[in-house]
Amino acid sequence: MGKIIALANQKGGVGKTTTCVNLAASLVVAKQKILLVDLDPQGNATMGSGVNKQSVSKSINDVLMGRATVEEVLIKNTAAGYDLLPGNGQLTEAEVKLLAVEGRETKLKEALQGIVPAYDYVLFDCPPSLNMLTVNSLVAADSVLIPMQCEYYALEGLSALVDTIQTLCRSANPKLRIEGLLRTMYDPRNRLSQEVTAELVQHFGNKVYKTVIPRNVRLAEAPSHGLPVLHYDKYSRGAASYLALAGEFLKRQQPVIAETTEAQTQPAE
């Protein structure tokens, strides 16, 4: 059964989409079958995957609005090797119209339940806000990966997101948990980076990934070529960092897999 991970942070410009695209590509290199779902009306994850968001005939918005099935929208085997459910500006329709729909929080979960088992991991690129698209993502997800910069305002935004996760965990999605916190655009020479890191570790412990994503020119250039950085410049610091993140991410899954296997093999009392 595939694991669903929402990449979320209501603060924009923190490297959320960059992380979604590059983690997906790096997991493919690690022989994982990946589906990326672009739920951001900006459509940047779609463009960064080498797909023109303006030219797609149908998007994930059509799925949420009941006009198309997942299979009709799915783009298989993008240039980076993962499958894609594209998103674009049409998603603003879902933002507004879902508010008036019964069972609005579960539309994404219901739409994807038939296809999730075909993948090892499904990654959601959420919009930079806590709107109905993000709520749908969090209700459908098993966990949340939070990319964030090491700056003061990032901590304020993190607090609001954690409150939302806890609220949904108590109501619509009891299994939801924080997968991890990823420090992006990281500069170890910056004193504030060190201070914010210390505060994150104090509050979240080993949920904070040891891997950090540095500021990197190649990482910034790659989206304009419609490629993850691994396929744009595999020798760059950005590519190395996301490969390291994929390795740390997969290593963290092993205890969970072991516990699940052990529980399944225990004799019934």
pLDDT of residue 269: 41
DSSP state of 193: H
pLDDT of residue 255: 64
In angstroms, rounded to a whole number, what is the distance separating the alpha carbons of residues 198 and 209?
13
* Residues 173-226 pLDDT 10s: 999 999 999 999 998 888 888 899 999 999 999 999 999 999 999 999 999 999
- For residue 268, pLDDT over 60 is answered with no
29 band by pLDDT with thresholds 50, 70 and 90: very high
Helix (H, G, I), strand (E, B) or coil at 11: coil
Q: What is the number of structural domains in the chain?
A: 1
If one compares 40 and 155, the residue with the highest pLDDT of the two is 40
Neighbours of 130 (CB within 10 A): 18
- Indicate the pTM of the whole model: 0.92
- For residue 267, pLDDT over 80 is answered with no
What domain range is 128 assigned to?
3-265
pLDDT of residue 237: 96
Residues 6 or more apart in contact with residue 133 via CB below 8 angstroms: 39, 40, 41, 91, 94, 95, 98, 126, 127
* Residues 60-112 pLDDT 10s: 999 999 999 999 999 999 999 999 999 999 999 998 999 988 889 999 999 99
List the CATH number of the domain containing 236: 3.40.50.300
Residues 6 or more apart in contact with residue 217 via CB below 8 angstroms: none
Closest CA to 213 of 188, 235, 249: 188
